[in-house]
Structures are given as C-alpha cells and as structure tokens.
Amino acid sequence: MKPLAHSRLEPGVFTLDGTPIAAPKGTPDEALRTCYQALAMDYPKFHKMDPLAKLAVLVAEPVLRVARERGADLAGSTAVLALGSSGCLASDVEHWRVRQATGLASPAVFVYTLPNIGVGELTIRHGMHGPSLCLMTEEPDTAEARMAARLLRRDPRVRWLVCLWTDIFADRFEARAVLYGPEDPWTDPAHPTALFPSTP
Amino acid sequence: MNGPILLGAPGCVTPLGASLEESFAAMHAGHCGLRPEPFPGSEAPVHVGRCDEAVLTGGGRRAQRLLGAAVRQSMGGLARSLRTLPRTAWVLATTKGDVRALEEGRPGDAELPRFASRAGIALDLPGAPIVVSNACISGTLAIQLAADMVRYGEMDHVLVTGLDEATDFVLSGFHCLHAIASGPCRPFDDARDGISLGEAAASLVVTRDAGLFRHGPIATYLGGAMGNDANHISGPSRTGEGLVRAVDAALQQAGLTAAAVTHVNAHGTGSVYNDGMEHIAFSRLGLGHAPVNSYKGYFGHTLGAAGLVETLLAVHGLRQGLMLRSLGATCSATLPGIDVLHTHRPTAGRTLLKTSSGFGGCNAAILLRA
C-alpha cells in the first residue's frame, strides 16, 4: 500500500515524493530555517516553536498541501499519528538547564516539554480538530505503530491519515511524513506492511 | 470472542492510599492528600500530592516502583497470568516517565521508550510497550486505545497503565506559568486560582473475557473519542470545541445521547480557564442534568496518570451508588447550567462520562457503564 504523498527531512535532504524541496545544511536550527524559507510558509508563530515542533510542522507541510489539493477535509476528517523516540528531550534539557542556572524556569520553554506539542502546533496551523495520537516508539515502523494507524482509520470521522516520525536531539534530526487517503479502508490486519516508504 | 468490552483488575497508588479501595475511602471521608511544601524559587509553599514512599516496594527507579505498585494489584486481580495469554498488549500512559533521570544528568535514560522497555522487563509485562504521551489526556486516551484494540480484534487483552511523578521538573514549569494554586486546588469553585500537582500510578485490564477477572469486571466500555481544539498549545479553547467534538463522537460510538449520561467525572484542574472551558463544553453538549465532579482537589493533577486513576475511582464510586463531591468547590455560581457536586450524592444511574483535556489542545472522552 503506497501513501498518497510522503516527505522526508534530515541533514541534506528535504523531499516530497523523492523530489527535492531544499537541501538543509548546518546546525539543526539553520537547516530547519532553510526548509521554512523553501516552503515560503509566512507563518510567524513558527519562529517561537521548539525544535521538535518546527520539525513536525515542516515535514508535514508538503503532504498537507497535497491533502488540500486532493480535497481533504483537514478540519474534520483528518487524523494524525505522531511517532518519535526522543520526543521533546531537547526542550526538556533546556528547561532543566534554565531551572538550574537561574532557580526559575522559562514559560516559553516549558510549554514545549511534552511530546505532543508539535502535533498541537500542527493542528493549530491547519485547523485540524480530528483525533491525534502521540506514541513514543524506538523506531518509526513498529507493529504497534501500524496497529495504531489502523485504529485511527477505524474512527468513523476519519478519512485521511497523516503519520509523522519526528526525532531531534542535539545535532541529529530526522523526520518523515506520509499521507493516506480514504480509498483504502485498512481493515486487513496485514496492512499496512510499512507506514513509511523505504525509498526516497 | 464477541461480547462487551470489559474493564477490570484495577490497581492504583495515590497520595491518599495504596489501593483503589483505600484511596476512595479517604476521599469519601473528605481527606485531602495535598500538603504544603517549600518550593525553591517561590516565597509561598505549594501544595503537592505525594504517594507514601512505604508503598513503593520492589527495585529499580522510583517511577518504576510506583508503576509496579499499581501493576501488581492488577496482576493479583487476574485469574490467569497475562504472560501466558497470546494477543496481549501493554499500554503505558505518561507525560514524563522517569524524568528524574534527566534531573540527575542522564537525559538519555529519560527517553520514554527506553524507560518503558526497562520497566516492562523488570515488571514482567506482556509485549512491547505502547507508550501514549498525549499530555494530560494520556490516561483516558490509553483506555480508549486499548478498548479499540479489543473492539477491532487487534488484541484480545490489554494491560493499561498510567504513571507520573510530581518532580521539580514539572513543579517549576507550572510555577513559572503562574498556574499553581495559592492553596489546595479548588476545581469548579468560583474562587479557583490554579492547579495542584500530584502523582499517581494506576492500571487496569481491558478484555472481552469476563473469566479473566478474579473478582469480575468493574465496568463495560461503551465508547470513546478524541478531539483537538486547534486553538492554543497551552490554553484551552474558549468554545470548548475539541472537548465537544470528543464527547459527541464518543456518544455516537456508544450509541447514546447526552441524556443517557448520569455522571461526569471531568478534568477539572482548578484553573480558571480549564474549568471555564469545560463549563462551556458541557453546556453546549446538553449535560446540565449530569452531576459533575473533579478529583483533583483530593490529590492533585496526576498528569499522564490522571485519566486512568480518576476513571477507576469514578467507577468504584458508581458501583457503590455514590458520586463524590468535588473537593474544594463550595460555590459554583459563575458556572450556571452544570450540576457541580458540592456534597456526596447517591447516583441515579451508572453511565459515566470521563473527560480529559491537555496541553497541545487535545481532549479525550470515554463512556463507561459501571
């Protein structure tokens, strides 16, 4: 089963269905800024986000543009499955660093110390009210993640499904996004065999 | 296997007790598990609900011992070991897991999948952990996820667990947001001024196999759903949109109308905006007839564990024909149209709506018959 669209974002690579969007280089912050500019997003809130939220919003942007082109109802009938291993660890470490250094804490940092906040930012940007599930997994394509995707598709409200893998900590970052449409009901437990395509 | 989706084998550890029965009895007696303690960076003490260290037996990290104390109760409530049963899953609901590891300078050990894997091995839990981390709806969402696994034949049995500790990490965060109450939190009270944090662990088993429970099931799962506000990452919707959508969809799955709900155990954090949002949502949903309470005045907001431990306590009450008062709520005059429980009250039915809302704008609702 092939997704309708898939994007990949990692050092040197930002593609939609294998076609380059940008070539992000440098630190994660520099690389993510390059991707933001390449997408011409004009979304000032982006600059206030933590690294995980930026990564989620960026990698999802191309596939959600495809979804809109295909007539998807992002507000009511699109679900999000968010997967990650490190989650919000970058913000966790920063929150604790500030706490130890100053005896206080930063509200702007603390609000990002939950793994699902990137999905929250995504739902705000695209006005998505449907279900979203945030699972912490060692790898992007586990049997548990595929089961969760099938279950989200069982929700009678859901016709479109976006699956995200976002992982960022220190100098490493990696993200994938896929869009599945309403054509395949996914009732067969053998499907999908993979959430994220192995090819670029 | 066909038949209703059942919940049973409850286990929990709260600031008010080492079991569901102990915790409920303390709440029934009007006890509050929130205690003032000095807090670095704050002139005033903060009220925190902490579990008794004496009940945290076994080895390993404190978070694991907390989880183990609840899980062992669930295992003791089963007629067969989950380890011997095929098609059995384990779900962990948590926001921060073992965040103390990060506080101690080992951030890698605080990664949730790593913590869950270690805890699962140490506690001999079935299968690879499925870690739900959707902020403060994690516990309620974990029950919904488990029930869906059983409903749609993905799994036959699911152990649902929830855990969060009250650490400096979270206390300092909510403190910097000016979100902490000046005293014990007062959900749904007109004078509410913030939240109190607590800690807890809880667990239960979801299955269609009633024979799995040594003491029988405690509730039937009727339906559940989730919805997003798409409004703000740390403030609730002013219209209650995500919660309304979640409850609407849960009612639809259950084949019920709002009129069938006989009790609402709400999120009720004690913050002005959260409780106000719930008031709007419950009014929009036509739930004015159903008595509403929150348990956070008894032992605080237990974050990722909250939905799970509060569900168990609400079900336990309904099975005794009782809805507990919303501790701290003495006057709810500014919340017209909803029936906040200011005293314990006998219940007229056993259909429970449990709701949770969290950062990121997420909301979850489940319907159970106790």
Strands (DSSP E) along B208-299, which ranges?
Answer: 219-228, 263-265, 291-293
Of B117, B134, B174, the CB nearest to A134: B134
pLDDT in tens, B36-82: 999 887 888 999 999 999 999 888 999 999 999 999 999 999 999 99
How confident is the model at residue A2, as a pLDDT? 81
Quick one: B289 and B154 in the same domain? Answer: no
Residues of A in contact with B117 (CB under 8 A): 138
Residues of A in contact with B159 (CB under 8 A): none
CA closest to A88 among chain B residues: B111
Quick one: B290 and B199 in the same domain? Answer: no
Quick one: B142 and B235 in the same domain? Answer: no
Quick one: B52 and B200 in the same domain? Answer: yes
Rounded CA-CA distance A163/A181 in Å is 12
Q: Percent helix, strand and coil across chain B, each rounded to 5? A: 35, 25, 40
Closest by CA to A130, choosing from B364, B279, B252, is B364
Chosen for mutation from B155, B247, B301, B362 (greatest number of chain A CBs closer than 10 Å) is B362
Quick one: B204 and B241 in the same domain? Answer: no
How confident is the model at residue B50, as a pLDDT? 98
How confident is the model at residue B82, as a pLDDT? 95
- pLDDT mean across residues, chain B: 97
Q: Is the pLDDT of residue B237 over 70?
A: yes
Quick one: B177 and B295 in the same domain? Answer: no
Chosen for mutation from B98, B104, B133, B232 (greatest number of chain A CBs closer than 10 Å) is B133
The DSSP call for residue A81 is E
Strands (DSSP E) along B14-140, which ranges?
Answer: 34-37, 46-49, 88-93, 129-132
Over residues B255-259, mean pLDDT: 98
Quick one: B177 and B283 in the same domain? Answer: no
Q: Is the dihedral of CA A184, A121, B175, B273 positive or negative?
A: negative
How confident is the model at residue B41, as a pLDDT? 77
Instruction: Give yes or no for a contact between A85 and A137, defined as CB atoms under 8 angstroms apart.
Output: yes
pLDDT in tens, B217-236: 999 999 999 999 999 999 99
How confident is the model at residue A200, as a pLDDT? 61
Residue B309 belongs to what H/E stretch?
helix B306-319
Beta bridge partners of A133: A81
Beta bridge partners of B339: B291
CA distance B39 to chain A (A): 10
CA distances from B229 to A131, A179, B370 (A): 10, 22, 29
Instruction: Give yes or no for a contact between B68 and B123, defined as CB atoms under 8 angstroms apart.
Output: yes
CA distances from A115 to A112, B278, B289 (A): 8, 24, 36
Cβ-in-10-Å burial (0-12, 13-18, 19+) of B71 comes to buried
Beta bridge partners of B355: B365
Closest by CA to B7, choosing from B153, B150, B200, B167, is B150
Over residues B155-166, mean pLDDT: 98
Beta bridge partners of B161: B92, B203
- Which residues, 6+ apart, have CB-to-CB distance to A49 below 8 Å? A57, A112, A118, A121
How confident is the model at residue A192, as a pLDDT? 81
User: Which CATH number characterizes residue B339's domain?
Assistant: 3.40.47.10
Quick one: B113 and B225 in the same domain? Answer: no
Rounded CA-CA distance B239/B256 in Å is 23
pLDDT in tens, B79-135: 999 999 999 999 999 999 999 999 999 999 999 999 999 999 999 999 889 999 999
Quick one: B164 and B248 in the same domain? Answer: no
Q: Which CATH code fits A5-180?
A: 3.40.47.10
Number of domains in chain B: 2
Total residues found in chain B within this entry: 370
Report the complex ipTM: 0.97
Quick one: B120 and B79 in the same domain? Answer: yes
Residues of A in contact with B233 (CB under 8 A): 111-112, 117, 120-121, 124
Quick one: B253 and B275 in the same domain? Answer: yes
What are the sequence ranges of the domains in chain A?
A: 5-180
How confident is the model at residue A17, as a pLDDT? 96
Is A191 or B310 the better-scoring residue by pLDDT?
B310
Instruction: Give yes or no for a contact between B193 and B47, defined as CB atoms under 8 angstroms apart.
Output: no
pLDDT in tens, B15-31: 999 999 999 999 999 99
Q: Quick one: how many helices (H) and strands (E) in chain B?
A: 10, 16
| Structural domain ending residue among the three candidates B160, B182, B212 | B212
Question: Considering chain B, what percentage of its residues have pLDDT values greater than 70?
Answer: 100
Strands (DSSP E) along A120-195, which ranges?
Answer: 132-136, 160-169, 172-180
Of A106, A123, A147, the CB nearest to B228: A123
Rounded CA-CA distance B98/B131 in Å is 13
CA distance A82 to chain B (A): 10
How confident is the model at residue A47, as a pLDDT? 97
Residues of chain A with pLDDT under 50: none
| Structural domain ending residue among the three candidates B212, B234, B262 | B212
Quick one: B69 and B204 in the same domain? Answer: yes
- Residue B42 identity: S
| Structural domain ending residue among the three candidates B212, B233, B256 | B212
pLDDT in tens, A100-154: 999 999 999 999 999 999 999 999 999 999 999 999 999 999 999 999 999 999 9
**Residue B261: domain span:** 219-369
